[in-house]
Structure 1
Amino acid sequence: MGARNQTTFMKQLKEMALIVGGGSLAFVGIQVYNGNERFYRDYIMPCVMRCLDPESAHNLAIFIAKHKLVPKQNYADPASLQTKVWDREFSNPVGVAAGFDKDGVGVDAMLESGFGFVEVGSVTPKPQPGNPKPRLFRLVEDKAMRSTIRCGGVVGVNLGKNKTSDSLVGDYVEGVREFAPLADYLVVNVSSPNTPGLRSLQGRQQLEELIAKGRVDGLIVSNTTVSRPDSLQSKHKSESGGLSGEPLKTLATQTIVDIGQDAYEKIRAGASLVQLYSALVYQGPPVVKTIKRELAELLEKDGFTSVSQAVGAGLKDV
């Protein structure tokens, strides 16, 4: 090949590489922008988990939510998913659980991505650094996690107490005073596995003292669990803290199959609303679209015209 021909060939090769590379980037960009559920599940989230440790990945997710880089919903919620709880209108019953956005910086983005409500916190009266690192682990083999104002939408604030506080009710009272004028609902957290002694407040006498001055309108029936099923396979299974995700599914349903089916089971078991966190880690923000679509299909299949009709209808035999 002559020098001139070789130069021409190399130029064409570089142009082709730019075209192919640019086309690939454009394809990825389109899939991310459109919130392609399968692309996030099969490519984006596995890549994130390979490249970043759990806490860095979580911090990145919060940064993305804070700057509204999360894909916006392109799925109109069907009328069957609309529901009313505590005199609040929910466009759908699927929400983000407390623990994901502890500081409440990504509320707008999560609502715009399709969630019916967002719960932030837990919020404590005084700042606290959290547990010693590493404190967040992925149990990939078990599809689990271990973890030691706004646009239109419903926002709840999860209230907690400081680890060093000696007051039984003082921290919660301070939280109520601060956030009652801002939040659509407040959650009194007495179940966090990461705050020493907190779960002792679940005793009848302690609970009566804690809620004596207020009215309870609802109950969140399950948090993460400190139990460790024998079925766990990950090397991190013995780490302390709360376990969430797939291993918690059956336990959570008993106290109140796949994504939408899981939410539907809890609704038929008596839940008016459902929250998720771990599913975001493994499938990304578009997972909410999957849940809502499948939930609407299941409601229609069973002859329900609304979520409220299915609440407490009883679990079906499989």
Structure 2
Amino acid sequence: MSITERLGLAALRALDPETAHGLALKALCLGLAPLPGMVTSPRLKTRLAGLELANPVGLAAGFDKNAVALHPLARSGFGFVEVGAATPRPQAGNPRPRLFRLTEDRAVINRFGFNNEGMEAIAARLAKRPKDAVIGLNLGANKDSADRAQDFVEVLQCCATHLDFATVNVSSPNTEKLRDLQGKAALTALLTGVMNARDALSRPIPVFLKIAPDLDAAGLADIAEAAAETRIDAIIATNTTLNRDGLTSAHRGEAGGLSGAPLFERSTRVLAQLSAITEGRIPLIGVGGIASAEDAYAKITAGASAVQLYSALVYEGLTLAARIARGLDTLLARDGFASVAEAVGTRRGDWT
């Protein structure tokens, strides 16, 4: 990390977290943030659910909720970028404050509640997206929706023309009863509707499912069965957690989803368990607590074909993605792997 980036991060951390987040996006759009460019190599090039990625390091949903920074994010070292979540109608989300830094724990708690400008505004920006990037959208449901399953379908139908993939998000803890959709019957019905809508598109795209880290073994088995039955293209493991074990920061008691370093072990164990259950039949994307190349490599060897990060950018800056990708290349070479795919799941037993 450069001195300039360190100073910029220090200045942002002196501000309210949500204000700082908004300024970071503006700096990106104005060309004031460092843009490392694409990082790739023959070893890093990855195929995920039919998508060709320059490297396996992705940006998780939530950083750019309204797709306002697609062009600079495409030049920020990420192999793929996920924006959103988008809901059919605009919604303000939960009252502020709703974003908290837990600096001592290298973590973040948020309770945004799917605040976004709605699918039509987001689709208009996606229509102007960079064509040389892999861009996906996290699909959400309005808080007051009478049919949340239909909300996912509507957002997909509205935005799919401009997307490379879409993610069904039933794992946010900040929309009341949303996680109830992770039960097998409800999830199968929801995914069946989404996949039918996907198949009817003029250009069908891969659809991913994002799950919570707070599932037990039976819950994970249900997820795996529903995913296989509905032919979901990949599973993202995991979203934020409600668990607060071991935290020391003053904001540890705030309501919302916890992300960052404390989530790493929990999310990686869920990932490895899901990898064992699915036996490699469904690609997995590892998310939760990634802040270094070693963290990303651990997710890959636990069973992930690609990874995503977000919270660590608060502490490590936007050049983190490029640093992780370069570090991954070194780690794969060190262990004799010619590709990311060769390393997937090779140390799964360390986590199960």
**Alpha-carbon distance in 2 for matches of 1:139, 1:195:** 22
> How many Å apart are 1:54 and its aligned residue?
0.2
Work out whether 1:217 is the aligned partner of 2:233: yes
Letter of the 2:61 partner, please give it: A
Contact 2:62 2:83 in 1 (8 A): yes
Contact 1:117 1:153 in 2 (8 A): yes
**Alpha-carbon distance in 1 for matches of 2:86, 2:141:** 8
Q: CA RMSD in A?
A: 1.8
**Alpha-carbon distance in 2 for matches of 1:253, 1:168:** 29
Contact 2:181 2:187 in 1 (8 A): yes
Contact 2:173 2:179 in 1 (8 A): yes
Letter of the 1:305 partner, please give it: A
Letter of the 1:49 partner, please give it: R
Paired residues in the alignment total 280
> How many Å apart are 1:69 and its aligned residue?
3.1
Instruction: Report the counterpart of residue 18 of structure 1 in structure 2.
Output: none
Q: Residue by residue, what CA displacement relative to the aligned partner does 1:133-155 show, whole Å, maximum 9, x if unpaired?
A: 10000000000011113221100
Partner residue of 1:155 out of 135, 139, 143: 135
Instruction: Report the counterpart of residue 175 of structure 1 in structure 2.
Output: 155
**Alpha-carbon distance in 2 for matches of 1:128, 1:277:** 22
Work out whether 1:250 is the aligned partner of 2:265: yes
1:180 match: secondary structure: helix
Task: Please list every run of 5 or more consecutive structure 1 residues that lacks an aligned counterpart in the other structure.
Answer: 1-36
Residues 220-235 of structure 1: pairs in structure 2 closer than 5 A = 220-229=236-245, 231-235=246-250
Residues 1-318 of structure 1: pairs in structure 2 closer than 5 A = 37-39=1-3, 42-50=6-14, 52-73=15-36, 76-148=39-111, 149-151=128-130, 152-213=132-193, 214=195, 215-229=231-245, 231-256=246-271, 259-315=292-348
Structure 1 stretch 174-183 or stretch 153-162: which is displaced more?
A: 174-183
**Alpha-carbon distance in 2 for matches of 1:39, 1:79:** 31
Contact 2:5 2:34 in 1 (8 A): no
> How many Å apart are 1:75 and its aligned residue?
6.8
> How many Å apart are 1:82 and its aligned residue?
0.7
> How many Å apart are 1:41 and its aligned residue?
6.3
2:236 match: secondary structure: coil
**Alpha-carbon distance in 2 for matches of 1:76, 1:132:** 38
> How many Å apart are 1:183 and its aligned residue?
0.8
Contact 2:37 2:75 in 1 (8 A): no
Structure 1 stretch 105-114 or stretch 60-69: which is displaced more?
A: 60-69
**Alpha-carbon distance in 2 for matches of 1:40, 1:209:** 50
Identity %: 46
Contact 1:94 1:275 in 2 (8 A): yes
Instruction: Give TM-score scaled by structure 1 length.
Output: 0.84
Letter of the 1:310 partner, please give it: A
> How many Å apart are 1:74 and its aligned residue?
5.4
> How many Å apart are 1:261 and its aligned residue?
0.5
Contact 1:264 1:295 in 2 (8 A): yes
Change in 2 beyond 3 A, CA 1:206/1:75: closer
> How many Å apart are 1:173 and its aligned residue?
1.1
Contact 2:39 2:55 in 1 (8 A): no
Instruction: Give TM-score scaled by structure 2 length.
Output: 0.76
Structure 1 stretch 110-119 or stretch 212-221: which is displaced more?
A: 212-221
1:145 match: secondary structure: strand
**Alpha-carbon distance in 2 for matches of 1:207, 1:74:** 38
Letter of the 2:11 partner, please give it: C
Change in 2 beyond 3 A, CA 1:127/1:42: same
> How many Å apart are 1:70 and its aligned residue?
2.7
Larger Rg: 1
